Amino acid sequence: MRAAHAPAGEPARRPADRPRAARATALLGAAALLLAGCASMPDSGEVKSVEQSPRSDGDSQVRVYGVPPQDGAQPTNIVRSFLDATTSDEADFRTATQYLAKSARQTWRPFLVTNVLQERPKPEPKVMPHGQDPDGYTVTLSGSQVATVDDNHAYTPEEKPYHQTIHLIKEDDQWRIDRLPNGLVLGQSDFQRIYQSVNKYYFASYKTESEEPKARRNVLVADPVYLRQRIDPVTASVQALLSGPSNWLDQVTSSAFPPGTRLASRSLALDDSNALQVKLSRQAVSTDTDQCKRMAAQLFFTVQDMTRASKISEVELQDNNGNSLCVLGQEQAERDFAPHRRAGHTADEYYLDADRKLVAMSDTATEPTPVPGPFGSGKFPLSSVAISRDEDTAAGVSTDGRSLYVAPMEDGAVHGGPLLASAVKNGLTAPSWDGLGDLWIADRSGRSGGGSRLLRIREGKSDPEEVAVPGLGKRRIKAIRVAADGIRIAMLVEDKGRTTLQLGRVERGGSSAHPELSVEELRPIAPQLEDVVAASWAGGSRLVVVGRESGGVQQMQFMETDGSASNAETLPGVNGVKAVAASEDETRPLIADADDGIVRLPPDANWKTVAKDGSVPVYPG
């Protein structure tokens, strides 16, 4: 059960499917009115339904509070009201635990797991054989599960039926819950209101290639988690960071914080100048300045992602006595550690024109310009292309999809022979560059029994090296996009006529002289889409995806790398998208190949046609 503090002028409404005796009173205005309403519950009057809707920035003033159990409430109503109380903005679920028997209060672990259902679970009495449970009562919870959030705050899509039971007994002549599953169970709308997706940041770990000059130490990788957005959010984000990377990223990232480092202060907040002071436990005291700055960088970008609207001016790390360990200002953080540094800072967008030559265009230009080098001359038509992140080299696939070429983007340059040749027509995917300067491509020829080979070409000029993909099997890779960090790779994978978007992590084994790469633990990014047409990295933990649900129309949306829907703005529709490109610098516009030609979507605007004829739009990467 709950009471909502609604913004002024907007009355709160109460659900129709909850018992009248268990209703909270929704009031406008000051907290005193809210408290008064909770103290005196109405025992008559009309009950109105509530329209549950996803969280938005505009409802940040809404507060939800639990209401204690009512005397004489029946078991099903107790369970229903308990579920209401678990959606409150109480840090410790103090009201929810009042619905529990004394024994259950000691054992219930609400943060062990969060089960996210399409809608709130439906509590219904369970019919028991006569005499089997004379002193107790069992209520079943059922629904359609869509995801789980584990105790490390990591989100995992998981669609399946949900079915659990809750048992109640009489305690002091009142029904109370004595047996229940650990964790929370929430409907999607409550989950979106209560939780916020936040990126924690850890450093990429290149292991056997870590000594190579291209593998810099300060490459930050976004690790998305879900945190309760109104319960001391800055402190929660720092505590989540100190707990270490999620299980999926743990093998390929590391933290600059010494093991066991904890907060030495109860609560954190930005001061009036948007600076953040963080007291740490003794484990952090013996670190040198370089390591301390790296720790501060992880904190800076993690807290910046949580606060978003407030630009952090600096982060100061302190020991538990308040002595300064180091200070990282905004300018140095952006210059030395910003995650988008390896994403490229181009002023240009690229695509193939009607003659299949490579052209470039700025965000505001209306006419393209052929790029220097052989791919912009028109003498070497291409079917797909990728631009290196430093924008000095292009990789292109011939129009028959069989041959891969690499050439400098400079006047007078020529391309050599093909770096890779496929045995079948249209066997090669479009190539992709990572931020380490390596080129990636997939080839569906050369593997017995079908499927595809994933290949890496060091610095775009060595012999192709096959990268193992244990979870791929005989499925075919149709497209790839490597993240700037070189740690994550997105792949369109076709299986039995259905194309899905999969994300894998790049692990580097073997030895420094002979590294062996593999892509591990493929996981779906947009599981609700039956057929994915195109995808592109659009931020540290975000992709833009084009596809359609079963029986639905084509749609374009942002998705997080954990498979959850992004909090980013809804994208306006555009017809017949065949390809899409985004920059990992989120301020840059989207570009797409659609029915109207090459179209561009600047921030806070609508799609505009920039070229009637053209295809394969790309940003560097």
Residue 21: inside a domain: no
On whether residue 318 sits in a domain, the answer given is yes
Task: Note the pLDDT of residue 363.
Answer: 81
Enumerate residue ranges in the chain where pLDDT < 50: 1-60, 343-344
Residue given tokens 């005397």 in the structure block? 71
Instruction: Give the DSSP per-residue string, 494-540.
Output: EETTEEEEEEEEEEEEE-SSSEEEEEEEEEES-TT-SEEEEEEE-SS
3: in domain: no
Please report, for residues 340, 349, 406, 542, 561, the alpha-carbon distance to residue 539 in angstroms, rounded to integers and kept in the order given.
Answer: 8, 17, 26, 5, 10
Measure the CA dihedral 459/460/465/471, to 10°.
Answer: 90
* pLDDT score at 448: 59
- As beta bridge partners, residue 499 has 494
Total domain count, the chain: 3
Residue 617 near residue 349, CB atoms below 8 Å: yes
Q: What is the DSSP string of 34-65?
A: HHHHHHS--SSS-----------GGGTT-EEE
End of a domain among 176, 195, 214? 195
CATH number of the domain bearing residue 95: 3.10.450
369 lies in the same domain as 502: yes
Strand partners, 168: 137, 177
Whole-number pLDDT of residue 51: 33
Q: Are residues 163 and 234 in the same domain?
A: no
Cβ distance 65 to 2 under 8 Å?
yes
Residue 522 lies in a domain: yes
Say yes or no: 253 and 364 in one domain: no
> What pLDDT sits at residue 131?
60
Can you read off the two tokens belonging to residue 503? 């994300």
Amino acid at 75: P
Q: Same domain, yes or no, for 148 and 202?
A: no
Which conformational region is residue 170 in: left (phi greater than 0), alpha (psi within -120 to 50 degrees), or beta?
beta
User: Is 190 found in the same domain as 99?
Assistant: yes
User: Domain for residue 25, yes or no?
Assistant: no
Contacts of 336 (CB under 8 A, 6+ apart): 218, 293, 297
DSSP state of 568: S
In a domain, 18, yes or no: no
Question: Taking Cα atoms as reference points, which of 396, 375, 364 lies closest to residue 588?
Answer: 364
Q: What is the pLDDT of residue 446?
A: 61
Other beta carbons within 10 angstroms of residue 573's beta carbon come to: 12
Residue whose token pair is 């292109």: 396
Extended strands (E) in 205-321: 220-228, 253-254, 275-279, 314-318
How long is the chain?
621
Residue 301: its H or E element? helix 289-307
- Which residues in 300-449 belong to E strands, given as ranges? 314-318, 324-329, 348-352, 358-362, 369-370, 382-387, 393-398, 403-408, 420-421, 432-433, 439-443
Other beta carbons within 10 angstroms of residue 237's beta carbon come to: 26
Q: Which residues contact 610 (CB under 8 A, 6 or more apart)?
A: 361, 365, 366, 591, 597, 598, 599, 600
pLDDT digits (tens, 9 = 90+) for 81-138: 999 999 999 999 999 999 999 999 999 999 999 999 999 999 999 877 666 778 899 9
Looking at the structure, tell me whether residues 518 and 504 fall in a common domain: yes
> For residue 81, what are the domain limits?
52-195
Cα dihedral across residues 309, 310, 311, 316: positive or negative: negative
* CATH code: domain of residue 495: 2.120.10.30
As a whole number of angstroms, the distance between CA 100 and CA 180 comes to 9
How many other CB atoms sit within 10 Å of the CB of residue 504? 24
User: Are residues 163 and 296 both part of a single domain?
Assistant: no
Backbone φ and ψ of 371, nearest 5°: -80, 150
Q: Are 397 and 384 contacting, i.e. CB atoms less than 8 angstroms apart?
A: yes
Q: Which of 307, 325, 340 is the last residue of a domain?
A: 340
Considering the domain architecture, whether residues 179 and 202 belong to the same structural domain is answered as: no
Q: Are residues 235 and 353 in the same domain?
A: no
The answer as to whether 14 is a domain residue is no
Based on the fold, state whether residues 114 and 81 are members of the same structural domain.
yes
Q: Are residues 312 and 363 in the same domain?
A: no
Query: Which of 230, 223, 231 lies closest to 247 in space, CA to CA?
Result: 223
What are the two backbone dihedrals, phi and then psi, of residue 546, each rounded to the nearest 5 degrees? -115, 125
Same domain, 326 and 388: no
105-125 CB burial, b ≥16 within 10 A, e <16: eeebeeeeebbbbeebbebee
> Which of 172, 195, 218 is the last residue before a domain boundary?
195
Nearest residue to 108 (alpha-carbon basis) of 177, 171, 172: 177
Residue 618: which of 416, 396, 287 has the closest Cα?
A: 396
